[in-house]
């Protein structure tokens, strides 16, 4: 049974309570939001807020000591992208998923003019869970959905694949159902649940349709019979999820043929993003959470962390090209962030620990690129900015994830939606920073 039929049969009032914007149409030109979470705490000083070693950090053999901000490059060698306007970045490279070097210059030269970098963000925590939550929801405390879920829930509430998630902070709190997609073979099977092979089905089509109708009817009876809201609500979720099951077939139509054979299929960012782009092209997906882990490098930081950054940057690079190939490059927004940064200097195990200053990067539809907002000292302490002019100002404010989320909500044009104003407002004094335009 199609989802809209289920909604027709279910009490509209009840369905609206579950999915408050179920009857609100989504617009065709709405963008695809790709949120990339570097899980573990990335080190902005190794790419978009570069801090190299200084002369005073060198030992007698001219090797950088553990006091250096970075051992991989000198401060004097910090690079500037060839794009216009230019963006500063760390002049390094790292091995990608195919064990091939990816130069950071490739990314920053290619996309510097589109990139918006926000440096010197005061993350206000160095706990993993709280940091992820704060970055993705704007709230340090529990109870708020991820922005990616809010965008999907508001813009495409009736789609079963509106919000695709590969992990990270992806709490939905019922505003939308998060869906994981990471396995082409399995998706193919699930798009055609009754199919045995290319020519045969398990059940005769009559039996299959009879089975589906009987299931839907029984679900309606189950819902009607429940006196407890706790059970009724889940039975309704069950009914809604099953009513949209045919739409997976549409997704499969738009998946690239080489999804299982592409040489970079092991790049997490790229592979998860491709599923989302197919969902977007099928008119089913509004946002995706991509989680790339391995950034919590308390030991051997340079050897472990820099390749992770390379994979992330290359993944975005590949997705940008994919969007171009798919004809949707003008409609994609990238949001890249991590729960916090990493400590200045190295610990005894050549690692870097948790540090509550970080950066985020944005690019895509409607974002004015080639800009860096916010800054940090050489020791990676956050600098205050003027909330109006966004330039460094000692009497200004520290940028926090609450500011970023407030600005993103406005940019996504969801700040006045009832779901936001009634249930998930960002309360307290949070200055409105005009970050994106």
Partner 1 sequence: MLLKNWDNRGRYRPNFRGDASQAAGMSLENTAPSQASSNLLQWLAGEIVKDERFAKSSVKIFYKALLGRDALRMPPRDAIEYVNKLEAYQYENTILEDIKEKFIASGLNAKLIIKEIIKSPLYRAISTSSTNRLLSQRLGQAKLITPEALNTKIYDVMGYNWNRYSRQGDIDNNNSANHRLLREDNYKILYGGMNSGSITTRVEELNGVMANIQTRMAIQMSCYPVSRDFYFPADERKLFPYVTTTLEPENEFFIAAIKKNIQYLHKHILGEDLSLGDVELEKTYELFIQTYEDGKSRIAIGGETQEIMDACELHYDPLTREGLWTNRPDERVYRDPNYVIRSWQVVVAYLLSDFKFVYENSAE
The interface with partner 1 within residues 166-205 (CB under 8 A) comprises: 166-167, 170, 172, 174, 177-183, 186-187, 189-191, 193-194, 196, 200, 202-204
- Please state the separation of Cα 427 from the chain's center in Å: 23
The interface with partner 1 within residues 236-275 (CB under 8 A) comprises: 237-238, 241-242, 244-245, 247-248, 268
The interface with partner 1 within residues 308-367 (CB under 8 A) comprises: 343, 353-356
Residue 291 engages partner 1 in binding (rule: CB under 8 A): yes
Q: Are strands 32-38 and 287-292 parallel, antiparallel or unpaired?
A: parallel
Residue 101 engages partner 1 in binding (rule: CB under 8 A): no
The smaller minimum CB distance to partner 1, of residues 242 and 262, is found at: 242
In whole angstroms, the minimum distance from the beta carbon of 281 to partner 1 comes to 17
Residue 234 engages partner 1 in binding (rule: CB under 8 A): yes
Per-residue binder mask for partner 1 (CB under 8 A), 121-150, x = binder: ---xxxx-----------------------
**Choices 21-29, 58-66, 213-221, 401-409 (CB under 8 A): range interacting with partner 1:** 213-221
Per-residue binder mask for partner 1 (CB under 8 A), 371-400, x = binder: ------------------------------
The smaller minimum CB distance to partner 1, of residues 125 and 287, is found at: 125
The interface with partner 1 within residues 416-435 (CB under 8 A) comprises: 422
In whole angstroms, the minimum distance from the beta carbon of 212 to partner 1 comes to 8
The smaller minimum CB distance to partner 1, of residues 398 and 436, is found at: 398
Residue from 219, 331, 383, 405 that binds partner 1 (CB under 8 A)?
A: 219
The interface with partner 1 within residues 295-314 (CB under 8 A) comprises: none
In whole angstroms, the minimum distance from the beta carbon of 265 to partner 1 comes to 13
Residue 437 engages partner 1 in binding (rule: CB under 8 A): no
Residue 8 engages partner 1 in binding (rule: CB under 8 A): no
Residue from 23, 214, 303, 391 that binds partner 1 (CB under 8 A)?
A: 214
In whole angstroms, the minimum distance from the beta carbon of 93 to partner 1 comes to 24
User: How far is the C-alpha of 123 from the C-alpha of 366, rounded, in Å?
Assistant: 25
In whole angstroms, the minimum distance from the beta carbon of 389 to partner 1 comes to 26
Residue 4 engages partner 1 in binding (rule: CB under 8 A): no
Residue from 4, 8, 218, 368 that binds partner 1 (CB under 8 A)?
A: 218
3-state secondary structure the chain: CCHHHHHHHCCHHHHHHHCCCCCCCCCCCCCEEEEEEECCCCCHHHCCCCCCECHHHECCCCCECCCCCCCCCEHHHCEECCCCCCCEECCCEEECCCCCEEEHHHHHHHHCCCCEEEEEEECCCCCHHHHHHHHHHCCCCCCCCCHHHHHHHHHCCCCCCCEEECCCCCCCCCCCCEECCCCHHHHHHHHCCCECCCCCECCCHHHHHHHHHHHHHHHHHHHHHCCCHHHHHHHHHHHHHHHCHHHHHHHHHHCCCCCCCCCCCCCHHHHHHHHHHHHHHCCCCCEEEEEECCCCCCECHHHHHHHHHHHHHHHHHHHHHHHHHHCCHHHEEEEEEECCEECCCCCCCECCCEECEEEEEEEECCCCCCEEECCECCCCCECCECCCCCCECCCCECEEHHHHHHHHHHHCCCCCCHHHHHHCCCCCCCCCCCCCC
Residue 233 engages partner 1 in binding (rule: CB under 8 A): yes
R_g of the chain, CA atoms, integer Å: 23
CB 33, CB 151: distance < 8 Å? yes
**Choices 70-78, 157-165, 386-394, 429-437 (CB under 8 A): range interacting with partner 1:** 157-165
The smaller minimum CB distance to partner 1, of residues 81 and 268, is found at: 268
In whole angstroms, the minimum distance from the beta carbon of 230 to partner 1 comes to 5
CB 130, CB 377: distance < 8 Å? no
């Amino acid at each position: 049974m199609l989802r809209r039929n289920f909604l027709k049969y279910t009490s509209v009032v009840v369905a609206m309570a579950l999915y408050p914007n179920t009857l609100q149409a989504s617009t065709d030109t709405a963008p695809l939001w790709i949120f990339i979470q570097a899980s573990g705490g990335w080190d902005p000083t190794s790419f978009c807020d570069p801090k190299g070693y200084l002369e005073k950090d060198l030992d007698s053999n001219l090797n950088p000591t553990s006091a250096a901000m970075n051992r991989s490059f000198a401060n004097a060698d910090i690079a500037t992208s060839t794009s216009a306007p230019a963006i500063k970045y760390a002049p390094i490279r790292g091995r990608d998923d195919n064990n091939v070097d990816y130069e950071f210059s490739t990314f920053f030269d290619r996309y510097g003019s589109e990139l918006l970098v926000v440096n010197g963000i005061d993350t206000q925590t160095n706990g993993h869970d709280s940091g992820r939550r704060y970055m993705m929801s704007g709230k340090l405390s529990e109870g708020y959905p991820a922005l990616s879920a809010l965008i999907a829930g508001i813009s495409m509430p009736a789609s079963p694949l509106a919000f695709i998630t590969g992990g990270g902070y992806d709490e939905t709190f019922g505003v939308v159902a998060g869906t994981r997609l990471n396995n082409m073979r399995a998706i193919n099977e699930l798009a055609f649940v009754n199919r045995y092979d290319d020519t045969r089905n398990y059940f005769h089509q009559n039996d299959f349709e009879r089975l589906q109708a009987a299931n839907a009817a029984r679900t309606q009876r189950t819902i009607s019979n429940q006196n407890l809201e706790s059970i009724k609500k889940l039975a309704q979720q069950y009914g809604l999820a099953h009513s949209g099951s045919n739409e997976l077939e549409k997704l499969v139509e738009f998946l690239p043929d080489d999804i299982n054979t592409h040489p970079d299929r092991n790049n997490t960012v790229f592979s998860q993003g491709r599923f989302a782009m197919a969902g977007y092209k099928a008119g089913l997906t509004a946002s995706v959470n991509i989680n790339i882990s391995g950034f919590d490098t308390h030991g051997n930081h340079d050897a472990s962390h820099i390749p992770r950054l390379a994979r992330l940057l290359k993944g975005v690079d590949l997705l940008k090209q994919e969007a171009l190939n798919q004809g949707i490059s003008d409609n994609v927004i990238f949001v890249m962030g991590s729960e916090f940064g990493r400590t200045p200097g190295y610990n005894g195990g050549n690692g870097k620990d948790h540090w509550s200053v970080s950066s985020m990067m944005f690019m895509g539809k409607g974002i004015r690129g080639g800009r860096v907002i916010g800054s940090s000292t050489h020791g990676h302490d956050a600098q205050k900015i003027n909330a109006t002019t966004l330039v460094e100002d000692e009497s200004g404010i520290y940028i926090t994830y609450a500011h970023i989320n407030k600005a993103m909500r406005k940019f996504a044009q969801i700040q006045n939606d009832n779901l936001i104003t009634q249930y998930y407002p960002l309360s307290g004094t949070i200055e409105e920073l005009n970050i994106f335009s």
